[in-house]
């Protein structure tokens, strides 16, 4: 559906104004879509139990029906609406991490519209901790299906302006609660496989999950060449986890090595491309900025600590993309804690194109 105008309203992120939440909830109850903030990224919500409303999500994002959605709840009791049976591990994990950036894959109840599960026998459920998201779900009185509020295949939005850039005229209302606290999407944990396995690293780290469920296994990903995700095992399990899923519209490359070697290789590549007359963007850490200052590259620093890098990552990709560069070169970060999710998103942005300075391109 096209809207003459997308209204964007500021909402208090800690104590959301009741009238604004009611305005958004009324739209959702009426079967429309609304963009709202969560602690991870902005979501494009619809009433999860209204098939027609869920259809509007796919239309607004231009997302294929083969990619299932996460149903968001505000109360653990809402699990009964969506899930056929709740395993004991799910209770323990919910106790430890909900509300928060953890999505659980659970056996779906027959009540869940097929559009949400993409016809799978499982459903993805998460209880977000953002006060606006929680207030909205409660006011709707139904679970809220919500993918990230970007066009399909684009970078997830961490501000209301990012969501507006992708969905202007495609949604009636965006609730602007300021920048998202975590900045990368939720961790998706499959509790329906033989062993609990992370399908997408995210806001809750593998290390944290293992304190509650020691057997949790990391994401399976074979060594990738050239962004062809067709045979990626994980992509088949979670249809939306294609390697190119988070791609910016500009080609990107990930550099991996020691900080010094990475920096030198990136600088060489900037020089080579500048000599060809290209505009080059670099995503770096604070400690790299000085080295790139006179390189002629468009510089965006992600900070240093993994938490900071996570909050700046998607904004960095969008900013460089909008600056008109022909290529984005990204450095990598330690793949521990939240760093694992950061690496995953950088790898996806690069479509699997990794440069290790001491090797040829893999």
Residue 205 interacting with ligand TXA (CB under 6 A): no
| Interaction mask 33-72, ligand TXA, x per CB under 6 A | -----x-xx-x-----------------------xxxx--
Residue 199 interacting with ligand TXA (CB under 6 A): yes
| Interaction mask 110-129, ligand TXA, x per CB under 6 A | -------x--x-xxx-x-x-
Size of interface with Mg ion, in residues (CB under 5 A): 1
Residue 136 beta carbon to ligand TXA: minimum distance, rounded to whole angstroms? 12
What's the 3-state SS for 340-357?
HHHHHHHHHHCCCCEECC
> What beta strand segments (E) does the chain contain?
7-10, 34-36, 43-47, 70-72, 102-107, 122-126, 144-145, 173-176, 187-190, 197-200, 252-255, 280-284, 298-301, 327-331, 354-355
What is the residue whose two structure tokens read 């995953």? Answer: 344
Residue 262 interacts with, from Mg ion, ligand TXA, none (CB under 5-8 Å by kind):
none
Which residue of 142, 241, 252, 301 would you call a contact of ligand TXA, by CB under 6 A? 241
Residue 227 beta carbon to ligand TXA: minimum distance, rounded to whole angstroms? 17
Which residue of 239, 251, 303, 337 would you call a contact of ligand TXA, by CB under 6 A? 239
* CB-nearer residue toward ligand TXA: 186 or 332: 186
Give dist(CA 117, CA 70) in Å, integer.
Answer: 8
Give dist(CA 35, CA 43) in Å, integer.
Answer: 6
Give dist(CA 292, CA 122) in Å, integer.
Answer: 47
Cis peptide before 99 (omega within 30 of 0): yes
- Cβ-contact 67, 94 below 8 angstroms: no
Residue 329 beta carbon to ligand TXA: minimum distance, rounded to whole angstroms? 26
Residue 188 interacting with ligand TXA (CB under 6 A): yes
Which of 143, 161, 144 shows the shortest CA–CA distance to 318?
161
Residue 40 interacting with Mg ion (CB under 5 A): no
Which residue of 50, 148, 187, 332 would you call a contact of Mg ion, by CB under 5 A? 148
Residue 188 interacts with, from ligand TXA, Mg ion, none (CB under 5-8 Å by kind):
ligand TXA
- Cβ-contact 175, 24 below 8 angstroms: yes
The encoded tokens of residue 92 equal 């323990």
> What beta strand segments (E) does 132-269 contain?
144-145, 173-176, 187-190, 197-200, 252-255
Give dist(CA 39, CA 2) in Å, integer.
Answer: 28
Site for Mg ion in 312-331 (CB under 5 A): none
By DSSP bridging, strand 122-126 and strand 144-145 are unpaired
Residue 186 interacting with Mg ion (CB under 5 A): no
* CB-nearer residue toward Mg ion: 23 or 148: 148
Site for ligand TXA in 87-106 (CB under 6 A): 101, 103, 105
Residue 147 beta carbon to Mg ion: minimum distance, rounded to whole angstroms? 5
Q: Which residues bind ligand TXA (CB under 6 A)?
A: 38, 40-41, 43, 67-70, 101, 103, 105, 117, 120, 122-124, 126, 128, 146-148, 185-186, 188, 199, 238-241
């Amino acid at each position: 559906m096209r809207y003459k105008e997308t209204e964007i309203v500021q909402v208090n992120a800690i104590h959301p104004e009741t009238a604004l939440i009611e305005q958004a909830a009324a739209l959702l109850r009426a079967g429309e879509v609304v963009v709202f903030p969560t602690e991870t990224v902005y979501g494009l919500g619809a009433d999860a139990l209204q098939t027609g409303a869920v259809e509007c999500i796919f239309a607004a994002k231009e997302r294929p029906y083969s990619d299932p959605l996460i149903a968001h709840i505000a109360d653990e009791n809402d699990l009964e609406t969506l899930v056929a049976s709740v395993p004991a591990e799910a209770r323990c994990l919910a106790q430890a991490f909900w509300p928060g950036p953890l999505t659980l894959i659970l056996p779906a109840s027959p009540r869940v519209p097929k559009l949400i599960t993409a016809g799978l026998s499982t459903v993805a459920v998460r209880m977000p901790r953002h006060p606006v998201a929680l207030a909205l779900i409660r006011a709707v009185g139904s679970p809220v299906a919500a993918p990230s509020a970007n066009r399909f295949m684009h970078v997830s939005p961490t501000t209301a302006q990012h969501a507006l850039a992708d969905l202007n005229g495609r949604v009636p209302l965006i609730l602007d609660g300021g920048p998202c606290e975590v900045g990368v999407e939720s961790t998706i944990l499959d509790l329906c496989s033989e062993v609990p396995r992370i399908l997408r690293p995210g806001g809750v780290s593998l290390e944290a999950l293992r304190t509650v469920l020691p057997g949790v296994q990391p994401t399976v990903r074979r060594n990738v060449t050239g962004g062809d995700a067709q045979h990626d095992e994980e992509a088949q399990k979670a249809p939306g986890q294609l390697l190119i899923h988070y791609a910016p519209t500009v080609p990107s490359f990930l550099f991996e090595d020691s900080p010094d070697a990475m920096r030198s290789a990136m600088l060489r590549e900037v020089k080579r491309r500048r000599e060809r007359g290209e505009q080059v963007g670099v995503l770096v850490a604070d400690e790299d900025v000085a080295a790139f200052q006179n390189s002629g590259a468009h510089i965006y620093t992600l900070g240093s600590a993994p938490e900071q890098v996570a909050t700046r990552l998607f904004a960095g990709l969008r900013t460089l993309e909008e600056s008109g560069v022909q290529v984005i070169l990204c450095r990598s970060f330690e793949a521990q804690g939240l760093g694992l999710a950061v690496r995953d998103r950088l790898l996806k942005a690069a479509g699997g194109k990794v440069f290790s300075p001491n090797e040829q391109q893999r």
